[in-house]
Structure 1
Amino acid sequence: MHRILIVDDEPLIGQGLSSLLASSGIGIEALYVAHNGYEALDYIRMEEIDLLITDIQMGAMSGIELMHQAKLVRPWIQTIVISAHETFQYAQLAMRLGAKDYLIKPLDGAQLLDSVRNVLLKLEKRLKTQEEGMETLHERFRMSEPSDHGTELLNRLLAESYDASAGVAAQLDKLGVQLAGPYFAVLKLRLQLQSPDRPITDRDSRLLRYGALNIAAELLESDQGSIVFYSGDAELSIIMQWDEEAYENAPAAESKLNRLDMFGRSLHRSVKRYLGLASIVGISQIVQGLEQLPLLNGQAVQALRWSERHPDHDVFYYGDFHEDLYTKEEPSEDELRAQHNRIAERSKAYIDEHFAQKGLTLHEVAQHNHVSPNYLSYLFKKTIGMNLWEYVMKLRMEESRRLLLETDMRRYEIAERVGYESPEHFSKIFKKYYGVSPSELKK
């Protein structure tokens, strides 16, 4: 059963699509309808949305911007785009962000239902991998395993010096593996194949590693030129690369560091969801030059080592741990705790000041603190005791309750004051939070 969010600034279209899906017989657990991007983000933050169906042109936040922000919150969310414009540029942007389909208004109901079924069917097939066991891995994942020679060369490229890199790259080029760059990053996935309550045979370990390789390759479909390969019995390496145009012309909301963070989180979640395996992900910085791959490899390995200090965290970006404090020597537990507290308190102070701002995002708060959104989420919850968006909502709800009880402001004025786009959406959030509507509380 799946959760679907429909976003369109024309209420009749939103309700019409909701009614069509509700009567379709597709296995849908819940349907939500939002009338703008801000409302949609609230649903995405609060609910486990599997599929987003969004219009492109919608007032203050376009469907493209909504896709950017939705991916930052839940990188694994699936998207179908609907548009009144058969514009190549829109379609290209949507597909680059991972849209599974691009449908033109006026919508053909049968075409929409086919598209939704296809997206949900793929999700269900992946889940069957875990449910049906090891024997289905080679059936579900049909990608060829990389050649032993190619894998050996790629691992040499990560380990050897500048003088050797050009020669190894030339050999890889003959095998059809091109590393033109000139911008590169390295990610490491370390699988927890053995556990006390789950003994795994050598054969099953190989199959699970193969499944993880294919999951990574599927997630990298939209990143042309990225390469995934084995780097040990329980470890995969991923080289991501961008040419000058792709690197320089990416929209601000789709920064390459955001892309790495989203991919790392998606990879970790997919391995857990579809293979039932715990794992950790280490992410390097982005550097120019093929000769820098050994440096990037070392950064990804170091990022993995931080799991020893943070066993309750799973995805580690090297840059989060290497500000001024980390450049000389590894910090003590007290220094580390003090830095965590500073980041969390600075974030809390920023939210205290800006919680009523429309369109406030985790990405904005993370940028203010010079850390990745993923790491900030982890630190905030660990230090403050609730996740960042729960804290934003708490402030908004407490302020709106105060305004309802102590002033004569109308509902739409209060909604505007605490950062909501519409009074109707504000009322939904308020009732979910307090159990009564604003008007019931006022009485």
Structure 2
Amino acid sequence: MFNILVVDDEPLICKGLSNLLASSGLDIGNIYTAGSGFEALDCIRMEEVDLLVTDIQMGAMSGIELMQHAKLAKPWVQTIVISAHETFQYAQMAVRLGAKDYLIKPLNSEQFLDSVRNVLLKMDRPSPELAGFIAGLGESFRLEEPLPAYSELLNRLLTDPAAALGSEEDMRKLDELRLQGPYFAVLKIKLPLPGADSSTKYSPRDRGLLRYGALNIAKELLDQEWSSTAFYSPGEEITVIIQWDEKSYEEAGGGQVSRLDVLGRSLHFNIHKFLHLNAVIGISQILKGLSFMEVLNRQASQAILWNKEHNDHYVFYYGDFNWSSYTTEPSAEELHTRSNLIVQKAKEFIDENYAQKGLTIHEVAKKNHVSPNYLSYLFKKNTGHNLWEYVIKLRMEESREMILHTDLRRYEIAERVGYESPEHFSKIFKKYYGISPSELKK
């Protein structure tokens, strides 16, 4: 069963869509509603949400911003956007962030339910190519080498860009691939395919099939939002070169690394979901120019090595590890000290700012110069609870003290601990303590 979150700052629309979904006959478990982006984000963090249906214009946080934050929290959540305006720019931004549909108000009931039905049906089904692979695991399945004419060139570009860029023939092929940038990042996917000396054995054919399946998953995810090229690399790795032209790089502002992080987590999630493998993903920084391909390739490979230190974590961004601080490879003790320092600084920032309206994990991570994904992992590993649970804990404890020891009204308390609406505050408070603020006051 699927859980759906409906977000609109018009209560009647929320209620109408919820009733429509409840009587649709679709395989729906829970239907949640929220009147703002901030309320919706709390719901996504605290509940299991599969599909987000959101208005695009909602005041303090737009539907586009909500999609960005939702993807950081849970990259696998799918989205349908609804809008009162048929604006190409909004639609383009929504599609770029992976929206499955863009519907115009006033909504046609059948059209809306068809859109929801299509998204839910595809949620547990792989792409046609991958479905063919899964159905054809027998000897009859024909395994084709992807980009056979280009894989050798692309791998040479990653290890010796000067040679590749110095050849007219190679440059012609690169032009055919439209590998023009000028901004690039490299992402590597390492599958856990142990050799014959391991207790888990894979035949050469099995290994080839699993790598083929992982490549198809990568291509399906990449084709939705990215200008990219995916191919096999030595060591049974899959490499993805991602590029931005000047315009798309500027439009993305400073959010490219967060989007790469979301992509990495989506890749890990879907490879595990369909192939039952815990793939390790290494992500490079973003640099300008094909001549830096060797550097980007080395960064992505180096990021993957951190899985040895954090073997319960699977997505690593090279920039999270502050390599310039070490003259030699850091010891386990140095790594532990740095991890503790990151968590300590994050806690200090939250302690001072937990009552700030609109506080996000992204903001806390930015203050620590690490990705939200890595900060969330370290925080949970070091403290035993996730970062947003800590924010809610501080807010709830402070609000409880105010309810018991002051005469402040509910809306004043909600305001002081960072909530937009007293209703939303009451909902969170009751979920946390099991009783409402008014019941506690009595």
TM-score by length of 2: 0.93
Aligned residue number for residue 340 of structure 2: 341
Aligned residue number for residue 258 of structure 1: 258
Q: Mark the runs of 5 or more structure 1 residues left unpaired by the alignment.
A: none
Aligned residue number for residue 271 of structure 2: 271
* Conserved? CA contact 2:221–2:267, under 8 Å: yes
Aligned residue number for residue 170 of structure 1: 171
Rounded to whole Å, the distance in 2 between the matches of 1:124 and 1:401 is 42
Amino acid at match of 2:285: Q
- 1:139-185: CA deviations, max 9, x gaps? xx9997513232111111111142433426424237x3121011111
Amino acid at match of 1:41: L
Rounded to whole Å, the distance in 2 between the matches of 1:78 and 1:130 is 19
Aligned residue number for residue 23 of structure 2: 23
Number of aligned residue pairs: give it.
437
Q: Mark the runs of 5 or more structure 2 residues left unpaired by the alignment.
A: none
* Conserved? CA contact 1:127–1:274, under 8 Å: no
Q: 1:200 to 1:293 in 2, by over 3 A?
A: same
* Conserved? CA contact 1:325–1:331, under 8 Å: no
Percent identical pairs in the alignment equals 61
Aligned residue number for residue 57 of structure 1: 57
- Report the RMSD for the aligned CA atoms in angstroms: 2.4
Amino acid at match of 1:151: S
After superposition, where does 1:23-172 map in structure 2 within 5 Å? 23-126=23-126, 134-136=134-136, 145-167=145-167, 169-172=170-173
1:228 paired residue among 227, 230, 246: 230
Matched, 1:351 2:350: yes
Please identify runs of 4+ aligned residues in structure 1 that moved more than 6 A. 127-133, 141-144
* Conserved? CA contact 1:187–1:281, under 8 Å: yes
Aligned residue number for residue 213 of structure 1: 215
- 1:233-285: CA deviations, max 9, x gaps? 63100000111111122244xx1111111111111111111211111011111
Matched, 1:405 2:384: no
Rounded to whole Å, the distance in 1 between the matches of 2:367 and 2:137 is 43
Rounded to whole Å, the distance in 2 between the matches of 1:239 and 1:365 is 29
* Conserved? CA contact 1:190–1:279, under 8 Å: yes
Aligned residue number for residue 317 of structure 2: 317
Comparing 62-71 with 316-325, which one deviates more in the overlay? 316-325
Amino acid at match of 1:172: K
Amino acid at match of 1:126: P
CA deviation after TM superposition for structure 1 residue 216, in Å: 0.7
Rounded to whole Å, the distance in 2 between the matches of 1:110 and 1:189 is 41
Q: 1:143 to 1:398 in 2, by over 3 A?
A: farther
Matched, 1:295 2:295: yes
Rounded to whole Å, the distance in 2 between the matches of 1:380 and 1:412 is 31
CA deviation after TM superposition for structure 1 residue 112, in Å: 0.5
- 1:263-312: CA deviations, max 9, x gaps? 11111111111211111011111111101101110111111111111112
- State the SS of the aligned residue for 1:285: coil
Rounded to whole Å, the distance in 1 between the matches of 2:364 and 2:251 is 24
CA deviation after TM superposition for structure 1 residue 128, in Å: 11
CA deviation after TM superposition for structure 1 residue 426, in Å: 1.0
Q: 1:294 to 1:88 in 2, by over 3 A?
A: same
1:243 paired residue among 242, 245, 249: 245
Amino acid at match of 2:435: V
